[in-house]
Chains A and B, each alone.
Chain A
Amino acid sequence: MSMAKPNLEAREKILAKLRGRELVNCFQCIKCTSGCTALKLLELKPHEIIKLVNLGFVDELPSSDIIWTCVTCLKCVQRCPQKASPYHVIMALRNIAVEKEAKVPEGYLKAVSQILETGLIETPKKIVTRKMETVDRDCLKLPKINPPKENFQAVFTKTMEEK
C-alpha cells in the first residue's frame, strides 16, 4: 500500500472554480460540520473535506460517494466565519468528478439529458388526487408549456464543454 500524495495541480483546479473564496483561511472551527444536515445521516464532514483540499489530498475525493451526500442546505456557507464555504468546494468536486468520468449518481446524468431534450428537468405529469381522480395541466386550465427554440440544444451542449 502506498501513502497518498498531495496533488497540488488538482488542488489549483478546485481553487480556480471557487472564484476567490478563501479556502486557506479555514482554521478548522468545525462550525460547518456541527450544523451539517447530511452529517446526521450520511456522515458528511465538511471541515475534513476543506482540510484535505487545503493539503492537496484531492485525488480520492471526486470518486468518493461522500461528495454526493450534501443536501445543499447552505448552512455551512452561512455560518463559516472564514468564508471558506464548504458547499462551493463540494460543488467544485462534483464538477471535477464529472470531468474525470468518475461515478456520478444517475439522477444527475438523467437531469442533463432531460433538460437537453425538453428544457425541463421533468415533463409535466398527470396526478391522482386523494379522491382517485386523474388530473393534468389541461383540465386545471394551466398555460401550455412551450419547449425551448431550436438553437437551445446547440448552445446548451457548448456550455457543457466549459470547464
Chain B
Amino acid sequence: MSLREVLPKFDIELVDLRESVCCGDPIKSVNNFTAVYLGARVLALASLTGLDDLLVPCNRCHFTISEANDTIKNAKTGEKIKTLLREEGLEYNPNIKIWHTIDLLHDLVGLKKIKKAVTKPLKGLKVASHEGCQIIRYSDLGRVDDAENPKKLDELIIALGAKTVDYAEKLDCCGSALMYSHPDSALSLAGSKLKAVQNLSVDGLVVSCPDCQLMFDARQKDAGTTVGAKLNLPVVYYTQLLGLALGIEEKKLGLYLNQSPADQVITKISA
C-alpha cells in the first residue's frame, strides 16, 4: 500500500501483472525445477506488460526469481523451462531487470532526490534497520547490498532526517522460513531479535520485506510469548516512513494496519 503511494512521487508508475502467482520459494524445498519454473514464469508475465523492469518487494521472492533467472542460463534446464512456458503461451525474457525496493530507491531514484522531496523531516526519530537475509546474500548471484555490512537501508532512513543505530543483532534472521516446519523456533528467532532491538531504546524497527514484517509485526505477540518477553516495538515498512516524510496522509500509508504500535512513531515525529 505505502509502496503504491510513494513511488508515483518519484515519477515511477506501477503496472500490476496479469495474475498474481507464487515466485516458487516454498517449492524450492520440494522440487527445485518447479521453483525455477515458477520464478521464470513471473519474469514471463512481467514481459507481457512490455516493460523491462520488475519490482519485487519481498526478499524471498527477489532471491527465488533471481536464482531462477541464473539457473536458466544452463542450456539444458533453460530449454526445458522455455518449452514449458510456451505451453502456457508465455515467453521467457532474459532482459528484465529485477529490482527490490531498497535498490530501486537507493540506486535508481537516489538519496539526493529523496532528500529533496522530503517535506516533513523525521527529526528526533531513532530507529534500527533490518534489511533481511536473502536480499543481501549470496553475493555471487548479484544482490542489492553488501552481504556482511549492509548500509543502504540505513542511508535511506538517514535521508529522511531520522537517526539509525548499529547493533550486534543486525544480521540476525527473522526466522520466517521455519514457519513451515518449526514454527516455535521461527517465533523464537523473531522474538530474540525484537527483544534485542527493544533493549536499544529506539523508536522502532524498520524493514522492507513483507515476510520479515509479518514475523516482526503481525506475529510480535506470539514471538514475545515464545521468548518470554513483553514486546511493544513499533515495526514499520521503510516506504511507510518515507511516505510520512513526504507528507502523505498516514491512512493512505496503511499505518493503522500494522499490528505493532505504529502510532508511537507518528506521535514521536509530530512532537
Name B36's closest neighbour in chain A (CB-CB): A159
On whether the beta carbons of A146 and B19 are closer than 8 Å, the reply is: yes
**A133 to B251 Cα, complex, angstroms:** 14
Question: For residues 11 through 69 of chain B, which have their beta carbon under 8 Å from a beta carbon of chain A?
Answer: 16, 18-22, 25-34, 37-38, 60, 63
On whether the beta carbons of B84 and A104 are closer than 8 Å, the reply is: no
**Contact residues in A for B171 (Cβ distance below 8 Å):** 75
**Contact residues in A for B19 (Cβ distance below 8 Å):** 119, 145-149
On whether the beta carbons of B31 and A74 are closer than 8 Å, the reply is: no
Question: For residues 24 through 42 of chain A, which have their beta carbon under 8 Å from a beta carbon of chain B?
Answer: 37-38, 41-42
Name B23's closest neighbour in chain A (CB-CB): A121
Question: For residues 104 through 156 of chain A, which have their beta carbon under 8 Å from a beta carbon of chain B?
Answer: 104-105, 107-109, 111-112, 115, 119-121, 127, 129-131, 133, 135, 140, 142-143, 145-149, 151-152, 154-156
The 8 Å CB contact of A145, one of B20, B30, B87, B254, is B20
The 8 Å CB contact of A120, one of B20, B84, B133, B186, is B20
> Does B139 interact with chain A (Cβ within 8 Å)?
yes
Name A147's closest neighbour in chain B (CB-CB): B19
- Contact-size category for A: 35 or more
> Does A5 interact with chain B (Cβ within 8 Å)?
no
A78-B139, A159-B33 are known contacts. Are A37 and B189 too (CB-CB below 8 A)?
A: yes
**Contact residues in B for A135 (Cβ distance below 8 Å):** 257
Of B119-127, B152-160, B174-182, B195-203, which stretch is located at the interface?
Answer: B174-182
On whether the beta carbons of B74 and A98 are closer than 8 Å, the reply is: no
A41-B189, A155-B87 are known contacts. Are A68 and B182 too (CB-CB below 8 A)?
A: yes
On whether the beta carbons of A74 and B27 are closer than 8 Å, the reply is: no
On whether the beta carbons of B21 and A148 are closer than 8 Å, the reply is: yes
On whether the beta carbons of A158 and B84 are closer than 8 Å, the reply is: yes
Q: How many residues of chain B get a CB closer than 8 Å to chain A's CBs?
A: 57
> Does B1 interact with chain A (Cβ within 8 Å)?
yes
The 8 Å CB contact of A42, one of B31, B134, B185, is B185
On whether the beta carbons of B256 and A112 are closer than 8 Å, the reply is: no
**Contact residues in B for A98 (Cβ distance below 8 Å):** 29-31
On whether the beta carbons of A71 and B30 are closer than 8 Å, the reply is: no
On whether the beta carbons of A130 and B256 are closer than 8 Å, the reply is: yes
A159-B84, A162-B80 are known contacts. Are A104 and B30 too (CB-CB below 8 A)?
A: yes
> Does A160 interact with chain B (Cβ within 8 Å)?
yes
> Does B231 interact with chain A (Cβ within 8 Å)?
no
**Contact residues in A for B189 (Cβ distance below 8 Å):** 37, 41, 71
**A99 to B178 Cα, complex, angstroms:** 21
Q: What are 8 A-B interface contacts by the 8 Å CB criterion?
A: A41-B185, A72-B60, A108-B29, A111-B26, A112-B30, A119-B21, A146-B20, A148-B21
The 9 closest A-B pairs by CB, nearest first: A107-B180, A105-B181, A74-B137, A162-B33, A111-B26, A77-B138, A73-B133, A73-B173, A159-B34
Could you list 11 further interchain pairs (A-B, Cβ under 8 angstroms) beyond the known A112-B27, A121-B22, A146-B18?
A41-B189, A69-B182, A75-B171, A78-B148, A98-B30, A108-B26, A111-B27, A129-B256, A140-B254, A152-B21, A156-B37
